Each structure stands twice: as C-alpha cells, then as structure tokens.
Structure 1
Amino acid sequence: MRNTTVAFRSVIIAIGAIIAAMVYLGGCGGGGGSASTGTLKLAITDKPSDAYQSLVISIKEIRVVPAGHENAADSDPALPVLARFNPQEKVIDIMTLQFVQQALGEIVLPAGTYRQIRLVLYPNPNGNQAPVNYLTLKSDPNTKIPLTTPSGQTSGLKILGPIEVKPGVINAVMIDFDPNTAVVQRGNSNEYNLKPTGIRLIQMANVLNQFGSIIGNVSNTLQNWSSATVSIKRRGTINDATPIASGQIFATYTSGRYQAPFSAFVPASEIGWGYKTFINSNGFVLYSSAAVPVVQGQARDLGNIVLVPQ
C-alpha cells in the first residue's frame, strides 16, 4: 500500500509519473499537433538522497536532439529549442521535487525519433558571488558547495533517449533525476561534478488515456495575478495531507483578462471520495472547489475560476 501512495504522490505537474498515475498542469492550452507533428511536454522529478539537503541547478535552455544529430553543437538550428529561460527564471532545487514534478516546457515537433534532451546550464559566476549551480549537505545545510558543470554550460547535460514523438498526440516525457549517481565527489575533496549519469528519460504518453482529468481556467480581469499554485487532493473517505497533484501555472493577458488554463490527469475517483482543487496566488483569496468525481477517459470541467483579491 505504501508504494501505491508514493507513486500517486510522484504525479505532479506537467507530464507524467512512474506508471501509476500522471498529471499535466500547464499555462498553455493543449492541442496535440497536426497529423505529422506531436506535442512534446517535459517535466523533471527526483529520487531521495541521504547526503544532500539541496541540489540546485539554473537552466538556461532545453534542446531536443533528433536522430542523426547526436554530435551537433547546441547552436545548431537542427536542434529544436523546447524552452529558453532568463537567469533566475528556472532555478530548480532538485531535492524539493521528491514525489513532485516541475514543468519545463512543451514544443510541437515533427513526428519521429529524438535521441537526447540537452539541459544547458548557466555558468557559476567567478569570484565571491554565490553559485547558481550548487549543493548543500545535510550535515552542513548552510554552506553552498558549487557544482562543477562544464558540459552543462557548453554542450549541455546530454540525457539519452530515445524519445518517440507520435503524430497528433501529446507525448509526455519525464526527466528522472537520481542525485546519488548524477553527483560525483572528486576524491576526498569538497568538490562535486554534475554528470548525466543517473539522469534518464521516461516516456509516459501511452498511459494518458487510462486516466480522467480535471480542467479549468484561472482568471482575473483587472489585476495581474502572474502565477498561481494549483494543487489537487482527495477528499472524503480519503483525505490527503500531500497533494496528489500540484504545480504552478502562469498568466498571460488574452481576451481582456489575465488567465491560464490548466489540466490535470489523475486516476478515476472511487465511491466515497473525490478530488478537491485548491488555487493559491499571492494577493488573492485561496480558491477551494467542491470535491468532484473523476471518470476514466472524461474531463471534469471546473469552468472559469475567478481569483478574488484579498
């Protein structure tokens, strides 16, 4: 029973979780692409570690590598850019993602085989400035130890596939990050390398049709709410302390209001309990839905959710 609970809790934003369940929470509406293209959605999650308190990486760019271009430079136009981030925009503490997934982006691609995902990192600054890629130890959580990431800054951390992008559908892929093998201490020194060993891709698109979904549109006409955290918990005979799904969505100004749709793929509910959706954004009252049932293969629409200023 414990393994089932853990698997459910690992189902969080944007893409998929390890076979037991899946969620997609995104700020973009979702079509599946044309007959000759498919949508690739990417997330990242991790495994626990006994040694590390935090493991922080600062992602500059994510590129997708088609078959036959494995040795291409990151600047090669043949490598589609899945996402590009400003400094501090996508700074992720991997250790906070235990049983959680962080959305990284999506892109419509030609259908076919892709061999790598490359995470290009921002370099650590020189001098006495704080590092942007670093770890802290559980034995010394206040000391930031810079991570040596030379390949991550030049050719990118190369996470090997393959990934199959099927036409006309959402292709959900998760980066599964094991810090115990991806981080390597150099001898007995206090220096650590970050390597793509211990990082793998899991393609989860084929299980999407096994779940139902909760969808809605978060909005406010007069005030920019920027971002919000959406979390979903079971309520009834089961009452989750930890969300079965949670993650951030980001508003865009369209059709005269600040808004963002979301969708979450979750297992069908059972007699006695349903799913309750919570939406939290700074400066606004916490939104809480009624507990609603979810049926496999069907979407439960919460409609337009208007955030109320505090």
Structure 2
Amino acid sequence: MLSRKIYLILGLFIFLVGLQSCSNNTVNNDTARVQLKLIDAPGDYLEVNVEIVDILFNDSENEGGWKSFELSEGKTYPLMVDLTKLIAGNSLLLTDQIMPAGMLKQIRLVLGENNTLVIDGNENVVHLDTPSAMQSGLKLNIDTELEAGFSYTFILDWDVQKSIVAAGSSNKYNLKPVIKVNTEVNSGAISGSVIQVVDNDEIDQQDISVLLTDGVNEWTTITNEEGKFLFQGIPSGNDIYDLKIEREGFETIELNNISVEVGVITDLGVLELKIIE
C-alpha cells in the first residue's frame, strides 16, 4: 500500500513538471513569445569578436528592475560572437523566450572585456578596449506593447564599421557599439543575388558591396559565396527604398522605388554585374 502511494505521488510530480515545462514553451492568453536576433552591417575587418555576458530586459512586470533573458538552446553566458559572420542572411538567435504580455521597454546588452579585432592584411588579434559604460550595459529602447498570444522578433542590427573607433595613432581600437533595433511585426526584408560575368564566365561572387537607403537611413551588407544578400528588419509602410551594388572594375547596379511589405521578403532576383569596358 505504501509503495502504491509512493508511485502515485511520483506520477503526480512528473505530471506537474511536464505541465510546467509545457507552459514555459507555449504562448497562451497571458504571454507572448519574444525572439532576439543579431545581424551585422559589415565592416573592413576579418573578425570582430565580442563577448556578451548578459542580456537584460525591463518590462511592465518588472518596474524599475532588470531581468536576464534566457539564451536560446545550446548557448550559455558568456557568449562569444564573431559579428563578421552575420551577413548575407546569416543571423544569430540569441533568445527565444515566453514572457508576460505587456510593455517591453528596454533591453540592455552587457559586454565583457574579451573583445578582439582582426584587421585585413594583419592577422594579429588586436584587443578592443570596451568603455566601462558598455560593460554595465548598452541600453536599447524597444517600447513595444507585447500582446498576448503573439510572437515578436526583434532584429539587433549591429553596425560594425561605426562601432570600431581607432584611438588616434596608437594602433589601439575602442569598441563603441552602434546598434539599430527593428521588429518583424512592422518590417519586411529584401533579398537578391549578384553574379559577375567576365568573358562569359561567372567569377567570384563573394563580398560584393550592397547598399540600401530610404534617402535618410542606410543599410549595408555584402554577398556570400553564392552571391546572395538579404536585408532583414527593414521598416515597411510608405517608405520607398533605393539599392546600389558596387564592385571595383564593374558597372554600378542601381534599383529604385523598391517597396517593403510587413512579413514579406521582397526578392529582387538575379542581378548581373558587367565589367567596365
């Protein structure tokens, strides 16, 4: 009889654990799903390695305080990230978390001291000095009302070129992160691929510069080894975008009046770079 009671208690415990686990991964009437994705606007560097020691958030459930996001599966703090890998559609899913519905005010990206740089033409690893303010956390304004039952993906677009600052002529560099935040609930994406042809032969299609602008803001990326590029988290609405593709020795490609729809990837197809005669 005693053993039967033990089995009943054990079975109830397993059921409750399973129920709790399910509730932690399912959006319901009181919660929303939040994802953070990291992408990079590329710079002239072979590697830019940053150490993320915490990602915090401030919401309506936590007035005046901060809580840590749980990293996505398989990742732990501190997290080392080479930002130069996050181009041409590559992104890093930092977190995928169920959280209470309500106002998500800010997130804070806390960096460690183990940030490094590898410059093209000099494969020596250079230490990136990180201001103490960045180590206490770079605040990013979100100011988004999370509605129950909905999923939100926030794109953290880290502009590497603007984030690396040379310290005079000392051959030292400072890391001062420049990050734009867009959300996929009010944004879309633009994709395409580039080929360059010389004497009827396709040649290297990697690292071709692609610029997107709305006349005020600019987004930059480069193509991958297949010539593909992708701009994510581009604001939609009445904005019309212009695209420019450039490579030395080739004619510039310019496309105008590109529109973006919410949740839609606008595919520009295959674009051919022609050599300057």
TM-score range, shorter chain: 0.5 to 0.7
Partner of residue 87, structure 2: 98
Per-residue deviation at 1:95? 0.8
Structure 2: how far apart are the matches of 1:201 and 1:79? 19
Per-residue deviation at 1:110? 2.1
**Secondary structure of 1:44 counterpart:** strand
Identity %: 27
Structure 2: how far apart are the matches of 1:140 and 1:42? 33
- 1:231-266 superposed Cα distances (whole Å, 9 cap, x missing partner): xxxxxxxxx947899xxxxxxxxxxxxxxxxxxx99
Q: Residue 157 of structure 1 contacts residue 195 of structure 1 at CA under 8 Å; is this kept in 2? A: no
Q: TM-score, normalised by structure 1?
A: 0.48
Structure 2: how far apart are the matches of 1:174 and 1:149? 24
Of 150, 157, 161, which residue of structure 1 is paired with 2:142? 161
Structure 2: how far apart are the matches of 1:170 and 1:30? 14
Partner of residue 110, structure 2: 120
Partner of residue 47, structure 2: 54
Structure 2: how far apart are the matches of 1:43 and 1:67? 22
Check 1:111–1:87 CA distance in 2 against 1; reply closer, same or farther (3 A cut): closer
**Secondary structure of 2:70 counterpart:** strand
- Matching of residue 44 in structure 1 with residue 38 in structure 2: yes
Partner of residue 181, structure 1: 162
- 1:113-169 superposed Cα distances (whole Å, 9 cap, x missing partner): 22322112233xxxxxxxx2111211312232333242232x212223233322211
Q: Residue 66 of structure 1 contacts residue 115 of structure 1 at CA under 8 Å; is this kept in 2? A: yes
Structure 1: how far apart are the matches of 2:36 and 2:168? 34
Per-residue deviation at 1:86? 4.3
* 5+ residue gaps, structure 2: 1-21, 189-224, 231-262, 268-277
**What letter is aligned with 1:135?**
L
- Matching of residue 147 in structure 1 with residue 150 in structure 2: no
Structure 1: how far apart are the matches of 2:128 and 2:42? 20
Check 1:29–1:178 CA distance in 2 against 1; reply closer, same or farther (3 A cut): farther
- Matching of residue 66 in structure 1 with residue 46 in structure 2: no
**What letter is aligned with 1:79?**
W
Moved more, 30-39 or 54-63: 30-39
**What letter is aligned with 1:61?**
D
**Secondary structure of 1:83 counterpart:** coil
Per-residue deviation at 1:41? 0.5
**What letter is aligned with 1:38?**
A
Partner of residue 205, structure 2: none
Of 137, 149, 171, which residue of structure 2 is paired with 1:190? 171
Structure 2: how far apart are the matches of 1:67 and 1:188? 46
Q: Relative contact order, CA 8 A, sep 6+: which one is greater?
A: 1
- Matching of residue 83 in structure 1 with residue 73 in structure 2: no
* 5+ residue gaps, structure 1: 1-27, 73-77, 124-131, 209-239, 246-264, 270-310
Partner of residue 34, structure 1: 28
Per-residue deviation at 1:94? 0.4
Per-residue deviation at 1:268? 11
Partner of residue 214, structure 1: none
Q: Give RMSD over aligned pairs.
A: 3.6
- Matching of residue 109 in structure 1 with residue 99 in structure 2: yes
Q: TM-score, normalised by structure 2?
A: 0.53
Partner of residue 303, structure 1: none
Q: Which has the higher strand share?
A: 2
Check 1:105–1:60 CA distance in 2 against 1; reply closer, same or farther (3 A cut): same
Check 1:204–1:141 CA distance in 2 against 1; reply closer, same or farther (3 A cut): same
Higher Rg: 2
Structure 1: how far apart are the matches of 2:181 and 2:159? 11
Q: Residue 37 of structure 2 contacts residue 154 of structure 2 at CA under 8 Å; is this kept in 1? A: yes
Structure 2: how far apart are the matches of 1:168 and 1:118? 25
Per-residue deviation at 1:59? 1.3
Q: Residue 160 of structure 1 contacts residue 200 of structure 1 at CA under 8 Å; is this kept in 2? A: no
